[in-house]
Amino acid sequence: MKGKVKEVAGKLSDNLELEAEGTDEKIAGKVQEKIGQVKKIWGR
């Protein structure tokens, strides 16, 4: 959620650095969620 907020704020303020930071955080969150799902399946 925080990543999406930063991404939108960066777009609205034409701040490419903030937008990129938000995108990175959003992607990292999705990766972490998938890792959690895999661990749950494997029981670890």
Give the domain ranges of the chain: 2-42
User: Could you report the per-residue pLDDT of 4-37, keeping only the tens digit for each?
Assistant: 898 999 999 999 999 999 999 999 999 999 999 9
Check whether 44 has a pLDDT greater than 70.
no
Q: Could you tell me which residue, 44 or 39, shows the higher pLDDT?
A: 39
Q: Are 9 and 15 in contact (CB under 8 A)?
A: yes
pTM: 0.73
Check whether 1 has a pLDDT greater than 90.
no
**Distances in Å between the alpha carbon of 44 and those of 1, 5, 32, 34, 40?**
26, 32, 14, 13, 6
Query: Nearest-5° angle of CA 32, CA 28, CA 9?
Result: 135
In this prediction, residue 43 carries a pLDDT of 85
